[in-house]
Structure 1
Amino acid sequence: MKIILWIVAISFLAVRPVLAGNDRTVRLLSDGYSIVEIQKNANAGDSQAQFSLGYAYAFGKNLPQDYEKAAFWYRKAAEQGFAPAQCQIAVAYVSGAGVSQNYKRAAFWFDKSARQGDSSAQYYLGLLYTQGIGVPQNDETAVFWLQKAAHQKYRAAEYDLGNAYYDGKGVLRNGEKAMFWWQKSADQGFAAAQFRLGRAYYWGDVVAQDQKVAQAWIKRAADQGHAAAQYDLGSAYYQGAGVPQGYEKAVFWWQKAADQGYAAAQFNLGNAYYQGAGVPQDYAKAVFWYQKAADQGYADAQFNLGDAYHDGEGVPQDYAKAVFWYQKAADQGDAAAQNNLGVAYARGAGVPQDRAKAVFWYQKAADQGDANAQYALGNAYYQGAGVPQSHEKAVFWWQKAADQGFVAAEYNLGVAYLKGQGLAQNKGSGKLWLQKAADKDDEAAKEALQKLSH
């Protein structure tokens, strides 16, 4: 089983459609203006009333929710130059709410609204330029609009502007400015910025490393439901990094993130149940969470799920299902899964025996430095199993594994030196490798050394 991995969570940009009114809209709908009056004024051409009517339809405020009618009235107001309505009809074109999705039309209306100073439109227009959606991709133009919105204290824009300075996209890379804008956004309670700020302090990235400050910011984000922050906070408690070590608290936060579908947290939660760390040991629950993460393509969970089926822990033993999950992980380049897949083909466990395929997967894993696979590949060459026999290649791969302290390879390498198989005979080197194996309580190595001493 693979146990805990510290995963760097990555935040990424996305157009996040919002539907929001302004202060006057809220007053129109709640402070003495009847929906009938708003409809009358909208039909008379009042752009504010048209926008308010669109808002009412969008949110089902005093009217049945109807996105098509919402878009109709937003467009009416937008065509009269009402900036909030221009932003909202643009959002509708992005999301396809009440209109056919059309990113070029969205960009057109965001631009109209942004040029009138609407901070939401400026932000979303910046995102479109960042991603090249509806407009040609242009990092410099993206930063221009993000700056416009950030200077109006639009917290998502402050966060993304920090990202731009950190990555050097559209501006010269500047860690101090990245921290400045992340801090601005975090101080306004933006969870993604709080998380990013915490990670900067955790790694000492563009700021002096400070574990306590890191976890304080990460906790703020976690308390708002930020899944990656919840995962990281759980990992911090598991490791005792910036907070007192506590497996129960680690499990508490991983559970929060896992319940949101965060695959790394699901994997770690599975490990917690497998080990009995912070929760009573329960192989069935471990498998439950491995399955959740594996279904999302998380390679380590796929490997552990394969192990569970292979060993019959938490599920009935099933070599075919073990191979299925090892294959999934192996196809993603997981070396341990590639080795186990090789073992399955070598033994015919869950698949028809095929020594050539065994060697194929051993080679994949061995090339990544997996000592088990290097040892097995050496054995295959020694025996001529699935490959032409070659003592020289056998020794080559045993040496690779032995250099990593793999005891069986140390023994085989020692014997090869003593016999002069695959390399020049050298009794001194042979004894050296046998002693390394014997020091690890390898009985065969101890016996061989004893015979040599007589």
Structure 2
Amino acid sequence: MKPLTRTLPIIMVATASSILFSSQAVALTDTDCTNIPKLETNANQGIFQSSFDLGTCFETGTNVEKSRETAFQHFKKAADGKLPAAMLRTGVYYLYGSGGVKKDQKLAANWISKAAETGLAEAEAMYGELHFRGWGVRKNIDEGMKWLNKAIEKNNTKALNFLAGEYFYGRNLSKDREKALSLYLKAAENGGIIQAGPSIINIYRNGEGAPKSRELADQWTLKYANHADPRRINQIAERYLNAKGRPRDGRMAISLYKISAEKGDQTAKYHLMNLYFVGFGVERNLSKARKWATVLANDPEKYGYHKPARKILNEIDAEERGEETQSMKSAKLLKSLTRKTPPLKLKIEADCSNVKLTENKAKKGDIKSLIDLSVCYTNGDGVAQSYETGFNHAKQAAKAGSPMGNYIVGVYYNLGSFVKKDHNEAAKWYLKAANDGLANAQHMMGIFHTAGTGVPKNMATAGQWFKKAIDQKYTPSLMYLGRQLGGPFTKNKKALETSFLYYAKAFEYGDMKALYPLSQMLKDGKGVPKDEKRAFELAELYLDTGSSSAYRNISEYYLKGIGTQKDVNQAISLLEKAADMNDELAMLKLMNLYYKGNDVSKDVKTARKWAEQLSAKGKDWTKEQADELLKKIKAGK
């Protein structure tokens, strides 16, 4: 089965958790460089710690002119005096060939091993990695593990991160992502969150090594942000706002910008001011916008944010006087365009004809009545819609042991209706229902394991759940598998053949919706020999569903004469029926047919009629195309 495409993570996983490539391998100790002459005097008197400190000052350029060459000379002097940190630092210089030193991995390994033998955790970690890479020593994973474990016993975060990366990617050790996660978590808990954080976040976000959990990914994102520099925090916040392939999360963006602002970042303050002022990703809040605008307006002018801040303060004042500003109009427009979560509709049969009677039965503990009430209140059928009441009735039924009750609770958590969206929680409820044999839930467990949603990604387990649902003639599973294998860009012949068989089985089990893909595959010769006549027959049969897609589908056959005699008038009539049912694609087809004059006489007036209807009723790209055509017509093109 073709796996689902995974969306890009918000923070990319580090390609290699390397000790050797992080800050040139060694975190320099805190060094007092305020009195260089005193350090030089002490170093000349043979105090090796002062030599090491001087090396640090020259390497960082603190109170002296930065010079790696001079830094190395001081480190080497301290290393000859057997100072562990200096031996390690000297090894690093030979490893990279920096500071005017000729690169020599064997000499580097020799110095690093001396430092490691003193028990210095940084050196133990680095010496372990050298054995994994075979740099300056013979590659020896067992020897490398010995030294890494010595460092890990001292909670050295670089050793933890490196070993985690080896387990995660399976480079020199058997791939074990659960083990990798435990090591990354330990590194983060011991102060290594900057290195481990991105990997932890992506493990939870992608469900690799742990059940997929956006909630945990977000929690770790905030923990990471508390230690990251403002520029990095702002980049992550921007990705939450400009999310692709997932819902925008203004609250997370605001939280991240606040962390950055608390670190003194002016750009974050600017974004907070604008987000609250316009209401992008969050509710519009003039009070909070004023707070951040005031901070920026009083900031030094060198940052450049004082001018827009003062402008916003003037606009807020105008709005509070009752004037309608351009920003207010923009905010209203933005709010109207903001996508809302589609309403939850349960496709479950229920008797909603007499809700009062059903409620009386439910009070007496009748499980079927509890399920009916859950569906009626959720769908607003026969009663005012109330997700809260619908959820509570499902929870009661679940508590009484109803598989359907467990399934409905899972649906609520999966979609985030009334309760906070939580795929882990959804998977828990679906699993209860699936284990009780409910085909709906077995189907959802198949989807969850396919995508790694709320559970580990596992195609074999997904297949097992789909098979259980199909054994009960649950056609949505067959339709889902057909779509996965027979997507529009699929060229694999075997996959297309299997896709056709899934759709055929769905139709055999009574699902008329399978006729649409079956007719298309026969028409195009995908997964089955091309047979236009049979394709037309199935398209005709699909008309019995009375759906707009059925009218639109068969219109193409009449328009092009596929499997039947060409009949443009009949094609137009069928498209108009579909359009009357608010089928946007049918409106778009009619609009383009009349405007371009393909297969019908060019008729700009009729094209405009359909474009205007589509502009008023359409969504997203169909509306955009209609608006574009109306502009062309108006311009006389």
Match of 1:400 in 2: none
- Matched residues, number: 289
| CA apart distance, 1:209 | 4.3
| CA apart distance, 1:217 | 1.3
Alignment of 1:186 onto 2:473: no
Match of 1:302 in 2: 587
| CA apart distance, 1:77 | 1.6
Determine helix, strand or coil for the equivalent of 2:394.
Answer: helix
Q: Do the aligned residues in 1 keep the contact of 2:412 with 2:419 (CA within 8 Å)?
A: yes
Match of 2:361 in 1: 74
1:24-35 to 2 correspondences below 5 Å: none
Alignment partners' CA distance in 2, 1:166 and 1:152: 21
Cα-to-partner distance string for 1:367-425 (whole Å, 9 max, x where unaligned): xxxxxxxxxxxxxxxxxxxxxxxxxxxxxxxxxxxxxxxxxxxxxxxxxxxxxxxxxxx
Match of 1:251 in 2: 536
Cα-to-partner distance string for 1:266-320 (whole Å, 9 max, x where unaligned): 3331111011111221111111222234445655533431244457789886421
Alignment partners' CA distance in 1, 2:355 and 2:628: 56
Match of 1:402 in 2: none
Q: Do the aligned residues in 2 keep the contact of 1:211 with 1:242 (CA within 8 Å)?
A: yes
Alignment of 1:320 onto 2:621: no
Alignment partners' CA distance in 2, 1:255 and 1:243: 19
Q: Do the aligned residues in 2 keep the contact of 1:303 with 1:337 (CA within 8 Å)?
A: yes
The letter of the residue matching 2:449 is: Y
The letter of the residue matching 2:373 is: I
Cα-to-partner distance string for 1:108-158 (whole Å, 9 max, x where unaligned): 221122123211111111111112223332211111111011111100111
Match of 1:275 in 2: 560
Match of 1:104 in 2: 388
Which of 469, 480, 483 is the matching residue for 1:199? Answer: 483
1:43-58 to 2 correspondences below 5 Å: 58=351
The letter of the residue matching 1:136 is: K
Alignment of 1:16 onto 2:347: yes
The letter of the residue matching 1:176 is: A
1:206-285 to 2 correspondences below 5 Å: 209-260=494-545, 262-285=547-570
Alignment partners' CA distance in 2, 1:265 and 1:200: 22
Alignment partners' CA distance in 2, 1:224 and 1:241: 22
Alignment of 1:290 onto 2:575: yes
Determine helix, strand or coil for the equivalent of 1:277.
Answer: coil
Determine helix, strand or coil for the equivalent of 1:164.
Answer: helix
Alignment partners' CA distance in 2, 1:120 and 1:336: 43
1:418-429 to 2 correspondences below 5 Å: none
1:57-206 to 2 correspondences below 5 Å: 58=351, 67-78=354-365, 82-97=366-381, 99-203=383-487
Q: Do the aligned residues in 2 keep the contact of 1:270 with 1:287 (CA within 8 Å)?
A: yes
Q: Do the aligned residues in 2 keep the contact of 1:67 with 1:97 (CA within 8 Å)?
A: no
The letter of the residue matching 1:271 is: E
Cα-to-partner distance string for 1:192-251 (whole Å, 9 max, x where unaligned): 11111223333599x994333221210122344535422111111101122221112222
Alignment partners' CA distance in 1, 2:394 and 2:629: 54
Cα-to-partner distance string for 1:18-38 (whole Å, 9 max, x where unaligned): 23xxxxxxxxxxxxxxxxxxx
* Pair 1:102–1:329, CA change in 2 (3 A): closer
Alignment partners' CA distance in 1, 2:533 and 2:575: 19
Aligned-residue sequence identity (percent) comes to: 24
Alignment partners' CA distance in 2, 1:284 and 1:262: 20
Larger CA Rg, structure 1 vs 2: 2
Q: CA RMSD in A?
A: 3.5
| CA apart distance, 1:182 | 1.8
The letter of the residue matching 1:169 is: T
Q: Do the aligned residues in 2 keep the contact of 1:156 with 1:185 (CA within 8 Å)?
A: yes
* Pair 1:343–1:113, CA change in 2 (3 A): closer
Alignment partners' CA distance in 1, 2:344 and 2:445: 11
| CA apart distance, 1:189 | 0.5
The letter of the residue matching 2:444 is: D
Q: Which runs of 5+ in 1 are unaligned?
A: 1-11, 20-57, 60-65, 347-352, 359-454
Alignment partners' CA distance in 2, 1:88 and 1:264: 30
Alignment partners' CA distance in 1, 2:436 and 2:506: 23
Q: Do the aligned residues in 1 keep the contact of 2:591 with 2:611 (CA within 8 Å)?
A: yes
Alignment partners' CA distance in 2, 1:101 and 1:338: 35
Alignment partners' CA distance in 1, 2:625 and 2:389: 50
Q: Which runs of 5+ in 2 are unaligned?
A: 1-342
| CA apart distance, 1:16 | 2.1
Q: Do the aligned residues in 1 keep the contact of 2:374 with 2:393 (CA within 8 Å)?
A: yes
Determine helix, strand or coil for the equivalent of 2:346.
Answer: coil
Q: TM-score, normalised by structure 1?
A: 0.55
Q: Do the aligned residues in 1 keep the contact of 2:406 with 2:432 (CA within 8 Å)?
A: yes
Q: Do the aligned residues in 1 keep the contact of 2:346 with 2:379 (CA within 8 Å)?
A: no
